[in-house]
A and B are shown apart, each in its own frame.
Chain A
Amino acid sequence: MIDGLLATFEPFQMLMIFIGVFSGIIVGAIPGLTGSMLIALTLPITFHMTPLHATSLLVAMYVDSITGALISATLLRMPGSPAAVMTTLDGYPLAKSGQPGGALGLGIAALFWGSLLAWIALATLTKPLSELAVILGPFDYFALVMMAMVLIASVAGGDMIKGLIAGFLGMLVTFPGIDPSGGEMRLMFGVDGLIGGFKFLPVLIGVFAVRQIFADVLTIKHRPEPVINTNKGLFMSWGDLRRFSPNILRSSFIGTIVGILPGVGASVASAISYLVARLQSKTPEKFGKGSEEGIVASEAANNASVGGALIPLLALGIPGSVVDAILIGALTIHSIQPGPLMFASNPDIVWNVIAVDLVATFVMFALMLGLVRFYIRVAAVPKTYLLPVIMVCCVVGVYSLNNTMFDVWTMLGFGVVGFLLERAGFSLGPFVIGYILAKVAEAKLRQGLMFTDGDISPLFTSPLSASLLVIAVILLVWSLRPERRRKSAARHAKGA
């Protein structure tokens, strides 16, 4: 590994890492633009590079393509990537309360520590940890997702019924198109574009970014935005680090483990970590209203999940998500085939990837801190100028994802849906969580039933899935407690 680390300090390689991290942060910060897109567009440029240089550039882009999402999620309430959806729930209220620097500083510190801790796991435990990716069966995954589903109840806010309805609506959105298990086309309503269903990015960008643009446009004349241009609190103090260290450690652990599991991803990692942080918090009522713990949990987990995803990718050649598959494709073009053979056939590349992940984490930390003042200024630009630019980025980004206009209409449609839901008092958190988790839950449950020829009993008898279901029930009861108490207090007050 030392050789791999030393190789990264070669000037051209450092330049590649710097470019990779910088472009990753920029792409991550702009709603609609994704890491997959960046890697795919960069790929032809790398044809003339050596495999080491190409790997450095692509891996640096890969590991930092969601870090920038923190910025737009916090300053504009528009997550640059779906991975930062949970950050939006607390980052924006905290920034709005006059602490944009503090909110970003917390997020940057959390994502730095999350990346670093996941790197330690990657560098030291790749082989044993990669086994996790194959140990869990479909029923275990389903039970894990059920555990995360209870988050819907816990983030429903004041109105539990509305929260559950929003969560249910989010689940419904996953149904149209080719079903993930049998390949059947369903609920197409004669619309050809629906064959791929409502895709992840257009829906989330619509619900968060476009919905926010609509809301801002309607209020733009009545409410000139106060310019908050402060980066106070940007650097996390030692005291804060000590205060948040259990949260950082726990969230990074969750992020790394969830990252290892194929097909789950950073959004779920962030959601689970957020739930656990809320359950552990002494002030759970602050979640969704600017909780520092919420930002830390979400950012540490989503960045750790990227490092976690590298573990099965390198050790077994298993891609956990679309961007992983594209990275594998890109490396293959450079005659590098991630998988069991790679440790034996290309050890220099393996250690280079691991070293690049570490160096990119430090470069990202420095760049994020350096760019924050600039971003805060950008966020302070009058909305009349800023919103059209963001809207153009959303449209261009979402269109270029698959080069189909249907995705753009989906994004705009879900912008309207999100706007109307929020106006009607429905919380968007449950809607998004329902949407993110339902697809995985359906695919895994049906896969499990195929394995067992229709027998569901292993879900309850297998030790792992049964334990996870029990935990899910405990979490549900636990998360409902404050709601019950609140209602009971309200009843007592009424009675008095």
Chain B
Amino acid sequence: MCQHLGHTREEKMLKKTTTVTAALVAVLATPALAEWPERPINITVPWQAGAGAVDQMTRQLQATVAEGDLSSQPITVFNVGGPNPVGLRQSMSAPADGYNFVVVHTAMMTLEAAGKIDFGYQDFEPVARLGQFCQTTSVHKDTGITSLDELLERAASEPNTLVHGANLGAINHVYGIMVEDLMEGAEFRFVQTGGDAGTFPEMKGGRVQVTGYSAAGATNFALGADGAPDPESPVQMLAYAGPERHQNFPDVPTFVELGHDLIFCVDGWYFAPAGTPQEAIDGFAAMIEASLADEGMQTFLDSKAMVGNFQAGDALSAEMDRQWAAIKDVAARAAN
């Protein structure tokens, strides 16, 4: 029994030692962050500098953090040009030390679904969503179409005749397919025209009849200086894919109002490499949330027709899972 008792003591000692050692190993394995941040925070932007709303948003964040004293350390922005996968892959393999972050939007999901990258949002630590912009559906006025129902009916009765400008395989193409799916038999003829800026000349030239502009693109190309629809513009907005009407074009109904279960917004997400200390993730997320109170940030978001919409933690992960479920199959179709 004694032996048994002694064995029990040894066992207890061993268990205690193992637990303490494991705890020590765990502590040592996780980079100790006395007070995050202790050095500059690096944000990788997988786009060329100045190109795209997400890069500009991050540059505004950099300025807001510096001016508003939101962090004891500055943000450095590191642009990796070329296609997104190059920068995303670099970010994924960056040290998970709490000082490396990457900004990207829904494009990461379309790339993964299309098989262009062999990793996805699940391979990063989600940190925060700063803001989002939602898509619109517009047609050329010459089509004579004035409502979403008319558009879908035309696309169903005359399939593959309405030319839809898009960046094939990318977000606005995925969105176009989702709109097409709202009515059985509806089919657009998707043509490579690029993003908003590439599609507008084709629409103005009469070669594109339908497209999905971002809210900023629609504002710039369809509205006049007074904020009302520009009679000289060829663009006729039909529906907005945001959760509620956009302040820039309050007369344009949402898809939900029109009886369609479609919300399609492009989120500006910040991620960290897997294994990044929670303290850094929380600190970064808090900084993002605080930045939204800044006037400069609000002015920027307004100028890009974006909406500040902070999200972090479990809610963010759940939203990403929801978007992935909605996009996955459609993006795979867009790639084929």
User: For A136, what are the chain B residues with a Cβ–Cβ distance below 8 Å?
Assistant: 205
Contact of B221 among A133, A137, A193, A339 (CB under 8 A): A339
Interface size class of A (residues with CB under 8 A): 35 or more
Q: Does B252 contact A (CB under 8 A)?
A: no
- Whether A133 contacts B201 in the complex (CB less than 8 A), given A183-B168, A185-B116, A329-B55, comes out as yes
B299 CB contacts on chain A under 8 angstroms: 335
Q: Is the CB of A181 within 8 A of B86?
A: no
Instruction: Say yes or no: B201 contacts A446, CB within 8 Å.
Output: no
Apart from the given pairs A39-B50, A134-B204, 17 other A-B contacts in the complex at a CB distance below 8 Å = A36-B49, A43-B49, A44-B63, A192-B86, A262-B201, A316-B201, A325-B197, A326-B50, A326-B51, A329-B51, A332-B304, A335-B299, A340-B232, A401-B81, A402-B86, A404-B90, A406-B86
Residue positions of B touching A, CB distance < 8 A: 48-52, 55-56, 59-60, 62-63, 78-83, 85-86, 89-90, 114, 116, 160, 163, 167-170, 189-193, 197-198, 200-202, 204-205, 207, 220-221, 223-225, 230, 232-233, 299-300, 303-304, 335
A341 in complex: contacting residue of B79, B86, B224, CB < 8 Å: B224
Contact in complex: B304, A44 (CB < 8 Å): no
**Interfacial residues of chain A within 284-327, with CB under 8 A of chain B in the complex:** 312, 316-319, 322, 325-327
A337 partner residues in chain B, CB cutoff 8 A: 220, 303
- Say whether chain A's binding surface is mostly helix, strand, loop, or mixed: helix
Residues of B within 8 A of A322 (CB): 48, 51
Chain A residues with CB under 8 Å of B220's CB are 317, 337, 339-341
Q: Which residues of B contact A447 (CB under 8 A)?
A: 191-193
Does A12 belong to the interface (CB within 8 Å)?
A: no
Q: Inside 8 A of B191's CB, which chain A residues have their CB?
A: 447, 450-451
Give A185 to B169 CA distance when docked, in angstroms: 12
- Assess A43 versus B80: contact at CB under 8 Å? Given A181-B168, A262-B201, A332-B56: no
B48–A326 touching, CB < 8 Å: yes
In the complex, A36 Cα to B81 Cα: how many Å?
12
Q: Which residues of the partner chain A approach B230 to less than 8 Å between Cβ atoms? A: 340
A440 to B1, CA, bound (A): 88
| Docked CA distance A344–B191 (Å) | 32
Min C-beta distance of B163 to chain A, whole Å: 6
Q: Give the residue name and chain of the B residue nearest to A327 (CB).
A: B50
Q: How far is B49's CA from A43's CA once the two chains are assembled, in angstroms?
A: 9
Q: In the assembled complex, which residues on chain B have CB atoms less than 8 Å from the CB atom of A250?
A: none
Taking CB as reference atom, which chain A residue is nearest B51?
A: A325
> Is A330 close to B, CB under 8 A?
yes
**Which of A40, A330, A446 is close to B79, meaning CB atoms less than 8 Å apart?**
A40
Smallest distance from the beta carbon of B268 to chain A beta carbons, Å? Answer: 15
**Binary per-residue interface labels of chain A (254-267) against chain B in the complex, 1 for a CB within 8 Å, 0 otherwise:** 00000000100000
Interface centre among B50, B78, B85, B223 (most CB of A within 10 A): B50
Task: Write the A20-51 contact mask toward B (1 if CB under 8 angstroms, else 0).
Answer: 00000000000000001101110110010000
Measured in the bound complex, the distance between the Cα atoms of B169 and A340 in whole Å is 28
A332 near B303 with CB under 8 A, answer yes
A155-195 CB mask vs B (1 if < 8 Å, else 0) is: 00000000000000000000001101111010000001101
The answer on a CB contact under 8 Å between A340 and B233 is yes
Q: How far is the CB of A292 from chain B (nearest CB, A)?
A: 37
**Residues of B with C-beta under 8 A to A47:** 63
Question: What are the residues of chain A within 8 A of B59 when measuring CB–CB?
Answer: 43-44, 333
Structural contact, A453 and B83, CB atoms closer than 8 A: no
Find chain B residues with CB under 8 A from A317 CB.
197, 200, 220-221
Partner of B335, one of A37, A183, A196: A183
The closest CB in chain B to the CB of A185 belongs to B116
**Beta-carbon contact of A344 and B224 below 8 Å:** yes
The reply to whether B225 and A345 contact each other, CB–CB distance below 8 Å, is: yes
Name the 4 nearest CB pairs between A and B, nearest first.
A402-B81, A40-B49, A344-B225, A196-B82
CB of A280 closer than 8 Å to a CB of B: no
**A341 near B56: Cβ-Cβ < 8 Å:** no
Assess A137 versus B205: contact at CB under 8 Å? Given A196-B82, A335-B303, A340-B230.
yes
The CA of A183 and the CA of B195, in the complex, are separated in Å by 13
* B50 partner, pick from A318, A330, A403, A407, beta carbons under 8 A: A330
Q: Which residues of A contact B79 (CB under 8 A)?
A: 40, 402-403
Pick the contact of A192: B89, B221, B232, B335 (CB < 8 A): B89
Bound: A446/B223 CA distance, A: 32
Chain B CB within 8 A of A439 CB: no
Q: Mark A118-147, 1 if CB is under 8 A from B, else 0.
A: 000000000000000111111000000000
Q: Is A96 an interface residue (CB 8 A)?
A: no
Bound-state Cα–Cα, A439 to B211, Å = 25
Q: A37 — which chain B residues lie within 8 A by C-beta?
A: 49
Which residues of A in the span 178-220 have a Cβ within 8 Å of any Cβ on B? 178, 180-183, 185, 192-193, 195-196, 199
Q: Which of B49, B55, B168 has most A Cβ within 10 Å?
A: B49
Q: How far is the CB of A456 from chain B (nearest CB, A)?
A: 15
Contact partner, B300, options A178, A181, A333, Cβ 8 Å = A333
Q: Chain A, 337-366, contact with B by CB distance < 8 Å: what is the 0/1 string? A: 101110011000000000000000000000
Q: Name the residue in A36, A180, A195, A403 with the highest tally of chain B Cβ atoms < 10 Å from its Cβ.
A: A403
Q: How far is the CA of A326 from the CA of B59 in the complex (A)?
A: 13
Q: Which residues of B contact A403 (CB under 8 A)?
A: 78-81
Contacts of A340 in B (CB 8 A): 220-221, 230, 232-233
Chain B residues positioned under 8 Å from A451 (CB to CB): 163, 191, 207
